[in-house]
Structure 1
C-alpha cells in the first residue's frame, strides 16, 4: 500500500546514476577515496588529496552530496557506501567498483543515502548480481530500475534529518567508547608497571616493593584443555575453544561443540574447573582472557587452545592478573615466546616460566578495581551504542516505508 502523497518511483527518476565526470578545478586538486576508505556502516574513514590528471582516467568520479554504493561482492552485501561531502574543490574520484547516485532537484541526497542502507535494497541487489564467482557485481541496470517509495521533498528532508540525528548520537557514543578505551590503555600502562601508584586505605600512596615472579610460582597449576578426540553431539557438555573467550573477558557458549557426560567425566577425573580460575587462550588467538564466574549456569570443558590457571590467593589476585594478561604488552610477550609454526601457540612450560611484576596484594586489588570500573563504563557505552543502532534500524523501517509519517 502506497502512503498518501507518496509515489513509487525508479531510482533513476529521483537521481542520476553514474553521472558524467566533472571538469578540472582551477588548482587541479581533488579528493580520492578507495574502497578500503569506506566503512561498512556507511561512513568515510579517510580520503586523500590527488592531482586531477592523476586520477581523472580509470577511476569513478563524484561530487559533494553524491551517494556511493559499492557494486562488487562482498562489499555490497557488507554495506560499503557513503554520502560524500567536504571533498577537495567539491570533486572526488575513487574505486571503479563504486556506483554513484546524484540526487535530482526533487530529491534529497541524504534520503537517497538512507534508501541504499536498507536491508531490502541490499537483499534485492544481492539476488540480482551478475558475473563469475568472487567477482559478482550489482549492475547499473538494477540500480536504475530499483523501485522505492518516495515522499514529497519536504518529507524526505524531515526523514533524513531524523535519521541523521540518530547517526550523530551513534558517532558521539562511538567516540566516547574510543576515548574510554584509550584512557584505559593509558591507565594500564601506568598502573600495571608501577609508574603510577594508587592511594591505600589511609589515603597514602602504596610504597611496598614489586616482586618479579614466574607464573608457575603464583598459580597452583597451569593446564590446557583436553588433547583427546571426543565425539561431538548437538547437546551435552560444552567444549570451549579460544573463540568462546570474548574480548569482554567473558565465557560465551554460543556455537561451542558438545561432548557426552561420560567423556566429560573422563577428562575431569583428576581436576575440575572452578569459579575464579583464569582462562587464557594460548593457541591461535593469543591473549584472550576470562575468569570463570561464580554463578556459572552450566559446567564445561576446554579444548587445548585454552589454558587454565588457578591463582595462589596468598600471592596474587585473579582480577589483577586478568587485567595484566589483557594488556598489549603481555600479548606481545606471548607472541614472542610462541612457537614458529603456522598457528601461533605457546607451550605450557614456556607459559609457566613467564615473569611478571607483582605489587603487594592490597595494591593489586586497588588496581584491579580501578581498571574493572573502566571496563564497566565501556560496557555500558557499548550497550548504549547497540541500543541506538537498533533504534535507528527500527526507525528506518517505519519512516522509509511511510508506516509512520513525520510532520513537516
Structure 2
C-alpha cells in the first residue's frame, strides 16, 4: 500500500451526513421498519441489535434519524460520544431503520462502510471530537461541521476493502475471545451454584459430612471505619461505578478529591460489596489501601471459620447474591443492612476443604484474565493500525 498516493479528503466529501427521508416517499406507510435506541448501540463495537420495530408512517413524521443497511451511526451527545457509542447498520426490517435524534447518520459514497465505521470509532476521531463539542456540562454535543470537515487520507477502493477486511478479522477474533470469556464465567457460576446448593455434594470431592450451616456474621467482619475524603492521605477511591459485575478485580479507581461526604476506609485484602442494588452483583477484593463509597459494605474474612480467599468466591455465588437481593430494603435503591445480612445462615464446605476449592476458582479467574489480555492486545492492534492510517 502506497500511503503517499492516498488522497486527503473531508468526510463530508465522501459520505452523506443525515440522509433525507424524502427518498422514502414511495414506500407504503404501513411498512415495518427497525428502531434503534441509544442504548442499543455498543461502545466501539460495530454491530448491534434493534430494540423494537414500528410502521414507517409513524416514525417518519417526527424528527428521528433515518438510516438503512450499511449506514454508520454516531452518537453526538455527551457522554455517549466520548464512550465510543457508534454502530454499523445491518439487518434492518425491509432495509430501513429509524433511531434517536442524537445520532449522526453517515452514508458512505466513496468509502467502504466498515472502514468508515472504524474511523469514526477510533481514538483519533473521538479525542479530536471531544475538544470541539459545544454546550454546557452534561449537555455537550458534537457539531455536524466537525464531522463533515474531519480530514482523512483515503486509499483507493480496493485498498479500502483490504483494510476493512483486516479490521473485521480483528473484530471477529475479539468476539471469539468474548464468547470464551462468557462460557468460562457461566461454567464458574454453575460450579459455584452446585457447591453451595442444598445437595450437600460437589463432584467426588465433597459429601454431606463436609458441609456445615453457619451464620454470615461468623465468617465475615463488617469494617465500618469512616473517612473524610478531603482529610485523608490516601489517594485511591473506589465507587460502585468502578466495580464490574462478577469480577473480583478492581480495574478502575477514582481520587478522593473527586467525591464529598464521609466514606469508608479499606485496607489491602478487604472485600468491597455493593450493598446498594445488590442485583448488580458487585463484589471485589481491594489490592490497595484506600477509601470506598458509603453505598458499599467493607467485609473482612474471619479466618477462624473461613479461608480468607474463599469468602469472595462464596459471595460471587448465586446462593449469596440471590439472598442479598431478597433481604434488600427499599424500592428505588434497595439496600442491605449489616444486621440483616449478619443473621443469614448459609451452607458452606468446612474450612479444611476450602483451600483446594479456592485453587479451582482462582484458576477460572486466571484464565479469564488471560482472555482479557488477549482482547486488550487485539483492540490495541486495531487502534495502532488506525493511527498509522489516519496519522
TM-score (normalised: structure 2): 0.80
Correspondent of 2:35 among 32, 49, 56: 32
Distance 1:182-1:158 versus aligned 2 partners, 3 A rule: same
Alignment-derived partner of residue 262 in structure 1:
none
Which SS does the other structure have where 1:208 is aligned? helix
What is the CA–CA distance in structure 1 between the aligned matches of 2:251 and 2:172, rounded to whole Å?
A: 32
Shift of 1:382: 1.4
- The Cα offsets for residues 304-356 of structure 1, whole Å up to 9 and x where unpaired, read as 7543434344x433333221112244234335445659976655444432211
Which SS does the other structure have where 2:347 is aligned? strand
> Structure 1 stretches of 5 or more lacking a match?
259-267, 402-408
Is 1:81–2:73 an aligned residue pair?
Answer: no
What is the CA–CA distance in structure 2 between the aligned matches of 1:284 and 1:351, rounded to whole Å?
A: 13
Correspondent of 1:381 among 353, 358, 371: 371
Distance 1:166-1:210 versus aligned 2 partners, 3 A rule: same
Distance 1:278-1:356 versus aligned 2 partners, 3 A rule: farther
TM-score (normalised: structure 1): 0.77
Shift of 1:134: 4.0
Is 1:100–2:105 an aligned residue pair?
Answer: yes
- The range that moved more, 123-132 or 390-399, is 123-132
Distance 1:228-1:98 versus aligned 2 partners, 3 A rule: closer
Shift of 1:191: 1.6
Alignment-derived partner of residue 224 in structure 1:
223
**1:283/1:343 contact within 8 Å kept:** no
**1:250/1:291 contact within 8 Å kept:** yes
Alignment-derived partner of residue 263 in structure 1:
none
Alignment-derived partner of residue 406 in structure 1:
none
Larger Rg: 1
What is the CA–CA distance in structure 1 between the aligned matches of 2:69 and 2:53, rounded to whole Å?
A: 15
> Structure 2 stretches of 5 or more lacking a match?
258-264
Alignment of 1:297-312 (within 5 A): 305-312=296-303
- The range that moved more, 94-103 or 120-129, is 120-129
Is 1:198–2:202 an aligned residue pair?
Answer: yes
Distance 1:210-1:157 versus aligned 2 partners, 3 A rule: same
What is the CA–CA distance in structure 2 between the aligned matches of 1:302 and 1:123, rounded to whole Å?
A: 30
Is 1:10–2:10 an aligned residue pair?
Answer: yes
Alignment-derived partner of residue 166 in structure 2:
162
**1:60/1:95 contact within 8 Å kept:** yes
- The range that moved more, 377-386 or 325-334, is 325-334
What is the CA–CA distance in structure 1 between the aligned matches of 2:229 and 2:118, rounded to whole Å?
A: 49
**1:71/1:98 contact within 8 Å kept:** yes
Alignment of 1:241-390 (within 5 A): 248-250=247-249, 255=254, 279-281=271-273, 284=276, 288-289=282-283, 305-313=296-304, 315-337=305-327, 346-390=336-380
Q: How many residues align?
A: 374
